[in-house]
Amino acid sequence: MGKCTNTGADQLAAGMPFNATKPLEYGEAAYTPHAGETQAPPDTVCHELSTNQGVPVADNQNSLKAGLRGPTLMEDFILREKITHFDHERIPERVVHARGSAAHGYFESYQDLSDITRAAPFAAVGKRTPVFVRFSTVAGERGSADTVRDVRGFAVKFYTEEGNWDLVGNNIPVFFIQDAMKFPDLIHAVKPEPNNGIPQAASAHDTFWDFASLSPEIAHMLLWHTSDRAIPRSYRMMQGFGVHTFRLVNAEGASVFCKFHWSPLAGTHALVWDEAVRLAGADPDYHRRDLWEAIEAGEFPAWELGLQIFTEEEAGRFPFDILDPTKIVPEEMVAVRTIGKLVLDRNPHNFFSETEQVAFCAAHVVPGIDFTNDPLLQGRLHSYIDTQLTRLGGPNFHEIPINTPLAQIHNNQRDGFHRQQINRGRVSYEPNSLAGGCPFQAGARGFVSVPEVSQGREVRGKPELFADHYAQAKLFWMSQSAIEQHHIIQAFRFELSRVRTPAVRSRTLSLLANIDARLVASVAEGLGMQVPPPLPPASDRPPYDYMPSPSLSLFARPGQLGIRTRRVALMVAPGADGALIGQLFASLEEAGAVPCLIGARIGQAAAADGAVLDVADSYESAPSVLWDGAIAIQGAGALAIEFIKLQYRHGKPILALGGAVELLKAAKIPRRLPQGLPDPGVIIVTPADVAEGLACFTSVLAQHRVHARETDPPRV
């Protein structure tokens, strides 16, 4: 292990200036100590404890007192500094997207896109750009649960040689509102009600649905919000979108419109609602832990970036307005062109310094990327920067290391709270001659806005096509599979059941009546209500009649990774077949899954052949919802029965070997689906046929779950 030195002289001898450390570069791997390791890692300098002024601290355990039992003295500046800093360690959380997780990585371009954009990340085949990516929920506070029903933020900071570009998007390609003017009202409505602070991280309450029922433009987003997209299985298994229409600009100044799509290599998979609710209690950090552990295990999450590119003339022929953030561009109209890959390969070293202090701003673009007149985007260009002034203490938040660009910064901005840069010389203005004219304007090399023609009177209002609130909501509904439609109905029932004002429920049903007759009838039936007349349309213009778009279903992207990173519970008990367990464990690990022995209690247990079984989790500490599938080898008791029941209820594959079939009988697990067909996810074999049984099990595990099991109410 490395030498641990304790003096400034030792530091200087090692080539390190006193009381200084070398910051890690973006992409540089951190040292990870091994289990049980207590010494300093190689080549690490171990510093003396000091105050913030560099004064060595002799005793960090006891305050200065007038006698051992006397009062603490005010002159104890070490105590006062330590306590004062602790008292001020919290900063205001984000108004939205407060609950987040993040990681470092890189973006690699598959193509040279210089014909359509001069943006640095797309300048050459194989070019890599460092990134920092933060995922988040929208409504909940910083300490809320990960698995609530909500939109997920998907924000990517590209550290390019021409400055930072923040692509600040979501896992859903549309939004609730069309104009930034309504954003404060939306967030006030969805946040906990101000009289009692309830509910936390949930939209299932009166104020949100009151706002929604009075805002028909929300119709399309409500379908996405009540779909399985709002309860993803993992951050690694959800799409990301730029939401708005942007412009790509090449070196000649020619521009095209663009929509950004991130698609996970692990496929798009979701939780079921009962599972999500139980996870919120069993592991509120489920998504955060999943992301962290995957990266630590070397299973680096990856997404491919796709672009929808179209011209102004093509946009003019669409049956919707590309400036409307409540609309998508269906892939049948404009295909998605895959142009690169995003890989996350390093966890943050410090959650607060990086994940909490990172500042994403929609206005941060680089040459080659430009904005459109989307009225929601235009408001975001101000809002993101404005909010950092309060959160991070002033205009110098770009000097916090996680926000600092790799490109050099040269300008005449000075002073302000938390200024880190020490500027030299007497010139802080431009033009100047005393500094030789520096820093000078970049001219054509710099950022140049697209010279878009603008005309018309100043007016408050919306274009006519913005008034078609239901056509794309119908498109999304008809493009879902039967089980996804069933989940949307269930979600509307749950959300509106929590609404206590009958008029709000009725107005929401009137909105749904414009989307689909079966949808509104099923929701109304679950609420014990009659279907009211539909809300009057906002325009006399006939709505566009879309054809279904298969790509809008989560099932369109099963993924490329098979069972890699899938968590499998091996249910064991003392006296189980040790050789069989070892065979299963090794086979699952070889396929990239994460197997774990689980039993009635943790610790060591004796196998039938005398081998020692290391039972890492118990049914109490790691309940069923934490596992993607279960293999029952030996087990009994109420907890094991409940565990296997929930595996079945949530559609997860179950492999029972030998005597473990009795556990399935005790849990009353049927072997046939409600439709009468054999259940492919309930597999019972003898130990002699374990290879065949495991192959069937992993095949179903790769498909995520057996949705055909679902009944209402559940069978077990």
CA atoms within 13 A on the CB side of 136: 27
630, 644 Cβ separation under 8 angstroms: yes
Shortest CA distance to 581 belongs to which of 617, 642, 634? 634
For residue 146, which amino acid is it?
D
Q: How far apart are the first and last CA of the chain?
A: 55
Return the residue matching tokens 């409505």: 189
Q: Strands (DSSP E) along 582-634, which ranges?
A: 594-599, 603-606, 612-615, 617-618, 629-632
Helix %, strand %, coil % of the chain (to 5): 30, 15, 50
Query: Cα–Cα distance between 93 and 97 in angstroms, integer?
Result: 9
Helix orientation angle between 482-497 and 273-282, rounded to the nearest 10 degrees: 60
56 prior amide bond cis, ω within 30: no
Query: Cα–Cα distance between 526 and 530 in angstroms, integer?
Result: 10
153, 134 Cβ separation under 8 angstroms: yes
Q: Is the dihedral of CA 543, 546, 551, 552 positive or negative?
A: positive
**Catalytic annotation, residues:** 97, 170
263, 129 Cβ separation under 8 angstroms: no
Counting DSSP H helices and E strands in the chain, the numbers are 17, 18
DSSP conformational letter for 672: B
Query: Cα–Cα distance between 26 and 130 in angstroms, integer?
Result: 7
What lies within 8 Å, CB to CB, of 184 at 6+ separation is: none
Shortest CA distance to 185 belongs to which of 219, 215, 142, 226? 215
Query: Cα–Cα distance between 96 and 387 in angstroms, integer?
Result: 10
Which residue intervals of 364-451 are DSSP H helices?
A: 375-391
Q: Is the dihedral of CA 387, 388, 393, 395 positive or negative?
A: negative
DSSP conformational letter for 25: P
Total residues found in the chain within this entry: 716
Can you read off the two tokens belonging to residue 158? 């590209």
Label the pairing between strands 612-615 and 603-606: antiparallel
**Sequence-separated contacts (24+) of 32-38 with Cβ below 8 Å:** 32/296
DSSP conformational letter for 354: I
Task: Tell me the backbone φ, ψ of residue 456, rounded to 5 degrees.
Answer: 120, 165
DSSP conformational letter for 352: I
Task: Tell me the backbone φ, ψ of residue 444, rounded to 5 degrees.
Answer: -65, -20
Can you read off the two tokens belonging to residue 368? 């080659």
The strand order across the sheet containing 567-571 reads 617-618, 594-599, 567-571, 629-632, 654-657, 682-685
Shortest CA distance to 716 belongs to which of 623, 645, 612, 637? 645
Query: Cα–Cα distance between 328 and 260 in angstroms, integer?
Result: 11
DSSP conformational letter for 110: S
Query: Cα–Cα distance between 654 and 631 in angstroms, integer?
Result: 6
What lies within 8 Å, CB to CB, of 525 at 6+ separation is: none
